[in-house]
Amino acid sequence: MVTSAHEGMHRIFQERPEILAPVFGVLGVPLSAKATVDAVTTDVTETRPLERRVDTVLRVGPSDGEDFLLAIEAQSGKVDGKEASWAYYIGYLQAKYRLPVLLLVVCQDAATAKWAVGPFGCGTRGWTALRVYPLVAGPDNLPVITDTRTVAKNLPLAALSALAHARSSDCDAILEAIGSALQELRETDPATAQYFFDFLEVTLGKTPAGKKWKDIMSFVSYFPGRGTVRETAYLEGEARGEARGEARGEAKGILFVLEVRGIPVPDSVRERITTCTDLDRVDAWLERSRTVERAEDLFDEDPEAVPNAPEQD
């Protein structure tokens, strides 16, 4: 499993190679959907004092043509001299494996993508000895996928889209569509659903997009009784925002837990939960929702509880 946004931007190609065909389609490079994909060592070091390592290298075997190597780099910003490393990677891999080499650079912002597209030349006195033309995938050309049905058809591309657009206002809608698709998928393919839940949780991290994803997971990806990070965040509340908004969010959580446990919720109980703005009290109800036998039992230990009376806040 990946451990950072940088790693996620390239490792998804290793772990979900079916993403290659749609990404190549976006870039205007034909690639048959039926192709073998094998990871190749990323170490391109020739002398021990100077270590060089590509993020990801794949050997791609299209059904309609010759094999080639795809070197994938995740780039979060412009780095002086990086273009020379890219030229080195291509030259070294071609010499070692005797195969054509393509370079794909995956970016999270438009400025980096504009720089990464190159071309980067090496030459002097009007003569070019070498020129590198990277393929670049970033927010300018990776689609904003906000339709749940489209997400379901290509989850890897949707996940990459979420990473590429993580810093834009479009990301919330992308994540909501992914959350809805995964909610349906977990019924038929829980292992795949689990992979993408975890992939986005880890790669988005503590960014605003990561917080949005955790909020979505709290209600969409709840697996009762499994003790997962999502379950803990859901039941105990991980983030603390403005008190009224947080109380409304946790009220939804209480109702969801009761629904998952199959406990009926009378209208009077539902109204009391949803109208309460006392965050501490709602927190206590959320904790009790895991064990109560009846919805009314949520309020048994409340010292200020008044049966059948509206909540005073």
HSE-CB for 37 with a 13 A CA cutoff: 20
pLDDT of residue 133: 93
For the entire predicted model, the pTM comes to 0.61
pLDDT tens track for 18-64 = 888 888 888 888 787 677 877 776 554 443 433 457 788 889 888 77
Coil vs helix vs strand at 104: strand
pLDDT in tens, 176-214: 999 889 888 888 888 888 888 888 888 888 888 888 888
pLDDT(9) > 60: yes
* Nearest alpha carbon to residue 66 among 24, 101, 22: 101
Higher pLDDT, 299 or 303: 299
Look up residue 47 and give its DSSP letter: B
Query: Mind spelling out the 3-state secondary structure of 187-202?
Result: CCCHHHHHHHHHHHHH
